[in-house]
Structure formats: C-alpha cells, structure tokens
C-alpha cells in the first residue's frame, strides 16, 4: 500500500473530496447517411471509459462522481446495437474486419492512413516498435505516391496498421486482462483476418459492457452519475448572448441579437437529458454538469426549476460572482471549499466550484512527473487545505476535469497514477472521498444547522464557464461569432417552416434532432487560430454538414456560406486542444 500522509488530526474535521470525471463526445454521425464521420466515441470507449470503470472496480473503497453526456451514451448504445445487428456504420471499424484489404478504394486507403497515425505518438505509438515501423514505412513511400495512389501499401500493411492502431487505443486494463489483446501485441506482425475479427470481438464486447458496468458501480453506491443538457449546449448563450459581457465586457458579439427560442430549446435539452439518464441508468439524475461548466443566474435557475439538486462550474466563475455580489474574494481558502446556494426566490440549487490548481495539475502537469511524486503532490496539497481549516466545518474540495482526454499523455494511459491515487485517497485518515449528492444530503439533513452546515447564498452570478471564467472559448471572436450567426439563421428558417405546419411528425422530429446537434458547444470550441488546422478542419466540416442537413430536412435552400470554411486553425494548443486550463 502506498502512503504519503504522516499524521492524523482527530480534532480538525475531515476534508471531503469530490473527484468529478466528465465524459463527453459530440454526435459524430451524419444523420442523413447514418454513418459515423469520426471514430472518437468508440476509441475512447475501449481506452478511457473502460479503464476508468476498471479502476473503481478494483478499488472498491474509492468513491467518485462521473458525468455522462446523453449524446455520448446514445452513441455507445448505438455502437452496441450495430454489433448485435452486424451492421457497422463506422467506416474505420468496418475496415478492421474487412476480409480483402488489397482491393479497397482509394478513399478507404486514405481513411486508414489519415486515421491510424492520429494519436499522441510519444505515449501511443513510439512504445510499440512494430507500430513505429509501420509509420516509418509510410513515411518512406509517401513521397513516391502519385495522384494519391497507394501502390506500395499492400493489403497486409493495411491490416497490420489497422490492428496496431486499435491495439494502441486499447486501455491498459484490456492489455493486462484480455488474452486476445495480449496475444496480438506479442505477435506484432502479419495479422490474419481471423485475428482482426477476434480484436473486433474484444472491442464490441467492451463497448457493450460499458453502460452496465457504470450502472453497477452506481447501484453499489461507489459512484454517482450526473448528466448534462442533452446535446451539450452552452445554456447561457442560448438564453442571452449578452451574458458574455459579464466576464468579457468588451467582447464583440454575433451580429444576431440573440438565439430565437433559446429558453424553450434550453428546457428541451434539460428534460431530454433527465429522461435519457433514467433510460440508461434506471434513476433520475440529481446533479447536472452544465456543458463546459457554463452558467448564468438564468441557466442555474432553469436547472433548479426542473428539480436539479446541484450543479458545478469553475473557480473563476465563483471569484467573479463574489465580486459582482460585492463580497470578498481575496483568499480562495476562505471562499472556495464550500457549496453555495443559488436561488430565484422560488427554486434553489446547490452549486460547487472547481479547484483550478488541483484539477489542472491532473489535466496538464502530472503526466510529466513520476507517478509517486505526482500523487504525493496532489495529496499534500489536500493536506495543506485540510491543515489550514480553523473552523468546525469540513472543507469540500471539488476536483473536476475531462475524464477521457488527459490519459493518453500519461504513461500507460494513467494506469499507475490512478491506481496509486485511488489507493492513497481511499485510505487517508483525514480525507473522505465522496460524491456531490452525499454533500447535498449533508447540507439538507435535519441536523445540518446544528452541525454548522449552511450553504451561503450567492446573490449574483457572473456568467462564465470553467475555462478562464469566461465564454471566450465559444464566442467573441470572428470565427466563433460567424458560427453562431449561421446557427441563428438556420434556427429562424427552422421556426418559419415549423410555423407553416407542412412537416409530418417524423419530419419534425428529425429536424429538431438535427437542430439540437447543431446547438452543441463542441463546434464553437474548435473554431479559432489557436487549434491545429487538422482538428479545426474536421469539426468545421462536420458542423457545416450538420447545418446543411438541417436545411435539407426542412426542404429549404442551403445558404452559400455553408459551402465555405468558417475557420482555418493553425495553432498548437495544449494536449492537442482537447482540453483547456481553468485559468490563463
């Protein structure tokens, strides 16, 4: 057993730790063709969602909270159904089990070579000599390819490349426990079609088991699972573009004055999320992670009105809100480590706030450190927070971050880090691993007041997100504002067509679903010159494809602007742009 703590203080109240892992992928399907355009959902499923469940299964004393966005769960269920029906609609996964790879089309060859080297090479390609040689071979023949012809890449080369790409994306728990994965990694070369089918079987089983595994962990009381408005929209921006100005008073806004019908669209995302959560987990979610931790007083009130007990967001939002409320925000030790009550006079919600330093250390710093040093640093930081508590009320620390994208930068997908972290925390005498709803229950218990548990009211909310306490990642620049204006124009067309009552019930439902996809936050996240050109291009194309599909479903002409890119990218953001720090 690993130990980094040195003393037990029986007089000081224990520190409560909320570890909160956010799981999200946008809808990567083209709803017109029903094919997946990008493979990230199933790849993260076999690597990160599987590993994160495994670490809790083998550490039963550890307790955490997960957030699963409904559109991610829908895609996981869809992949499971594809397997059952033997109708694979993800072209990359379908190629893995295609028997003859010699005579595939140029576009399929393109898909293989453009996809199968996309990973963090230092941790996901370089450790595997056979995989590395496949890259070196491609780099040798690429200059000799004319007219994008793949004459030098044999069917066996493509088979081996597909296998190694999927082996690299297998989570560490699969590598350590699954005999098929272990045998293929030991063999290394000349994979047969039968072996590719075996690997596909592992992938299929892993994805199909994910939701039941998390449900079992939830039912045992080891984890809590919260939800997010269904398609991950930025609620405050759907409600009011001007909320941007709370934290960015000089930010340029989209030309459109606002998003038409934003209130009803926000309610639709909230209600459909709760319904989906009940479908997947058999329980009503008590908490909600607003997409991107984006909150405003109106957005939090809307969640409260729909019986959401708790929400969470970023540390900077709290600091800005305290200043807006003319309250002290000088020392985070005094204000950060407690929940706050937000009320509209009729409905209340308890709001928790992220410790940016600790959260960002996991997301960006600990991958560069030796595991024991990283865990020691994390725990000693918590011990310092605990030791600084001179009150009789426990400090509540919320560590909130992406639960899927950080691990490819850690050795062995974070296996040793998470194993040691959970073991040390679960056995620490002064730290209690808990869940948000457990804290809510403590504050709402009949003897809460006698125990000094009373969440202070936060009179005003400075609208913002967990990234820098602003909405700068999603609005306020030329490219992002253009994307909003394109969406606003599509929404006006949608409203006009629906008002005419010319669509059938099935057509209305398809159009609404397509609109909801377009309202997601991810498209706006990627627009900007600080992200890589390849990533921006992928999401730019998919966003415009979604808007084009909406116009087609409405039987309306497609605006010319949707045939031109919105953003070019060209930057080199931390962790390939998939994550942001809480503070600049």
pLDDT in tens, 62-84: 999 999 999 999 999 999 999 99
Residue 569 pLDDT > 80: no
pLDDT-derived band of residue 322, with 50, 70 and 90 as boundaries?
A: very high
Give Cα 34 distance to the centre of its chain: 22
Q: Is the pLDDT of residue 3 over 60?
A: no
Q: How far apart are CA 281 and CA 390, in angstroms?
A: 40
Neighbours of 257 (CB within 10 A): 11
At residue 109 the predicted structure's pLDDT band, cuts being 50, 70 and 90, is very high
Residue of higher predicted confidence among 488 and 6 = 488
Supply the DSSP symbol for 476: S
C-alpha 211/C-alpha 399 separation (Å) is: 23
Residue 451's pLDDT is what?
77
Give rounded-to-5 percent helix, strand, coil for the chain: 55, 10, 35
Convert the pLDDT of each residue in 381-431 to its tens digit: 999 999 999 988 999 999 999 999 999 999 999 999 999 999 999 999 999
Strands (E), 83-148: none
Higher pLDDT, 572 or 519: 519
CATH 1.20.1430 in the chain is located at 478-577
State residue 580's pLDDT score.
57
> For residues 99 and 197, what is the distance between their CA atoms, to the nearest angstrom?
9
Kindly provide the b/e burial profile for residues 554-583, where b requires at least 16 CB atoms within 10 angstroms of the residue's own CB.
beeeeeeebeeebbebeeebebbbbbbbbe
Q: Is the pLDDT of residue 6 over 50?
A: no
Quick one: which H or E segment has residue 287? strand 287-288
Residue 528: band (very low, low, confident or very high) from pLDDT cuts 50, 70, 90:
confident
Q: How many CB atoms lie within 10 A of CB 144?
A: 9
On whether the CB atoms of residues 122 and 162 are closer than 8 A, the answer is no
Q: What pLDDT shows up at residue 572?
A: 57
CB 567 within 8 A of CB 479: yes
Q: How far is C-alpha 20 from the chain's CA centre?
A: 12
pLDDT per residue as tens digits for the range 28-53 = 999 889 999 999 999 999 999 999 99
What is the SS3 assignment for 341?
strand
pLDDT of residue 531: 74
Distance, CA of 497 to CA of 551 (rounded, Å): 10
Quote the radius of gyration of the chain (alpha carbons, Å): 24
Q: Which residues make beta-bridge pairs with 295?
A: 464
Write a three-state SS string for 386-428.
HHCCCCCCCCEEEEEEECCCCHHHCHHHHHHHHHHHHHHHHCC
CA-to-CA separations, 481 to 1, 243, 494, 564, in angstroms, rounded = 52, 14, 20, 15
Specify the pLDDT at position 145. 77
Q: List all residues 6 or more positions away from 300 whose beta carbon is below 8 Å from its beta carbon.
A: 290, 311, 342, 349, 351, 461
Instruction: Provide the pLDDT for residue 576.
Output: 47
* Higher pLDDT pick, 7 / 535: 535
d(Cα 76, Cα 213) in Å, to the nearest integer?
13
Check: CB of residue 310 under 8 Å from CB of residue 249. no
Query: Which whole number is the average pLDDT over 143-158?
Result: 82
Region 514-524: what's the mean pLDDT? 95
Secondary element (H or E) of residue 518: helix 505-518
Please tell me the total number of residues recorded for the chain in this structure: 584
Rounded to whole angstroms, how far apart are CA atoms 557 and 551? Answer: 7
pLDDT level of residue 147 (50, 70, 90 thresholds):
low
Question: What pLDDT band is residue 123 in, cutting at 50, 70 and 90?
Answer: confident
pLDDT at 328 over 70: yes
- The whole-number average pLDDT for the span 189-204 is 98
Closest residue by Cα to residue 579 from 367, 398, 312 = 367
Long-range contacts of 142-149 (CB under 8 A, 24+ apart): 148/106, 148/110, 149/106
Give residue 579's pLDDT band: very low, low, confident or very high (50, 70, 90). Answer: very low
Largest distance between two CA atoms of the chain:
78
- The domain at 478-577 falls in which architecture? Up-down Bundle (1.20)
The pLDDT assigned to 568 comes to 84
pLDDT category at 121 given cuts 50, 70, 90 is confident
| Residue 375 φ/ψ region, left for φ over 0, alpha for ψ in the -120 to 50 degree band, beta for the rest | alpha
Mean of the pLDDT values across residues 468-479? 95
């Amino acid at each position: 057993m690993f130990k980094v703590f040195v003393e037990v203080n029986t007089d000081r109240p224990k520190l409560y730790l909320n570890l909160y892992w956010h799981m999200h992928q946008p809808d990567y399907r083209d709803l017109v063709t029903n094919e997946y355009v990008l493979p990230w959902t199933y790849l993260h499923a076999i690597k990160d969602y599987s590993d994160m469940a495994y670490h809790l299964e083998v550490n039963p004393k550890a307790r955490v909270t997960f957030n699963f966005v409904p559109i991610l769960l829908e895609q996981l269920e869809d992949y499971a159904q594809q397997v059952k029906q033997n109708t694979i609609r993800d072209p990359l996964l379908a190629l893995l089990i295609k028997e003859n790879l010699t005579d595939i089309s140029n576009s399929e060859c393109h898909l293989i070579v453009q996809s199968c080297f996309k990973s963090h090479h230092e941790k996901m390609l370089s450790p595997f000599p056979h995989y590395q040689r496949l890259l070196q071979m491609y780099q040798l023949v690429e200059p000799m390819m004319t007219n994008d012809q793949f004459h030098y890449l044999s069917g066996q080369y493509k088979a081996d490349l597909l296998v190694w790409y999927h082996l690299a994306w297998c989570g560490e728990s699969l590598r350590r426990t699954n005999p098929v994965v272990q045998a293929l990694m030991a063999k290394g070369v000349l994979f047969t079609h039968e072996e590719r089918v075996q690997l596909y079987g592992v992938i299929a089983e892993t994805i199909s088991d994910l939701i039941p595994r998390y449900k079992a962990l939830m039912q045992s009381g080891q984890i809590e699972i919260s939800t997010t408005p269904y398609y991950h929209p930025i609620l405050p921006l759907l409600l009011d573009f001007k909320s941007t100005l709370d934290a960015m008073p000089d930010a340029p806004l989209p030309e459109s004055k606002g998003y038409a019908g934003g209130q009803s669209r926000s309610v639709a995302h909230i209600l459909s999320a709760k319904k989906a959560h009940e479908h997947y987990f058999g329980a009503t979610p008590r908490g909600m992670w607003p997409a991107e931790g984006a909150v405003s007083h109106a957005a939090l009130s809307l969640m409260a009105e729909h019986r959401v007990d708790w929400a969470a967001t970023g540390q900077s939002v709290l600091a800005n809100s305290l200043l807006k409320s003319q309250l002290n925000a000088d020392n985070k030790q005094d204000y950060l480590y407690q929940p706050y009550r937000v009320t509209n006079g009729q409905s209340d919600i308890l709001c928790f706030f992220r410790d940016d330093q600790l959260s960002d250390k996991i997301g960006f710093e600990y991958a560069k450190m030796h595991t024991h040093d990283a865990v020691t640093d994390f725990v000693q930081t918590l011990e310092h927070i605990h030791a600084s508590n001179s009150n009789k009320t426990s400090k509540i620390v919320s560590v909130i971050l992406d639960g899927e994208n950080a691990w490819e930068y850690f050795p062995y997908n974070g296996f040793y880090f998470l194993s040691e972290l959970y073991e040390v925390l679960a056995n620490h005498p002064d730290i209690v691993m808990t869940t948000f709803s457990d804290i809510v229950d403590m504050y709402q218990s009949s003897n809460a007041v006698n125990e000094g548990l009373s969440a202070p009211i936060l009179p005003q909310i400075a609208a913002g997100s967990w990234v820098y306490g602003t909405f700068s990642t999603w609005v306020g620049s030329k490219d992002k504002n253009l994307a909003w204006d394109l969406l606003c124009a599509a929404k006006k067309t949608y409203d006009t067509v629906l008002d005419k009552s010319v669509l059938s019930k099935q057509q209305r439902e398809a159009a609404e679903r397509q609109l909801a996809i377009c309202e997601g936050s991810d498209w706006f996240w990627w627009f900007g010159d600080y992200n890589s050109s390849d990533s921006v291009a992928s999401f730019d194309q998919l966003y415009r494809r979604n808007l084009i599909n909406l116009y087609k479903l409405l039987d309306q002409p497609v605006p010319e602007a949707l045939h031109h890119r919105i953003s070019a990218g060209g930057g080199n953001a931390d962790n390939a742009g998939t994550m942001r720090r809480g503070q600049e």
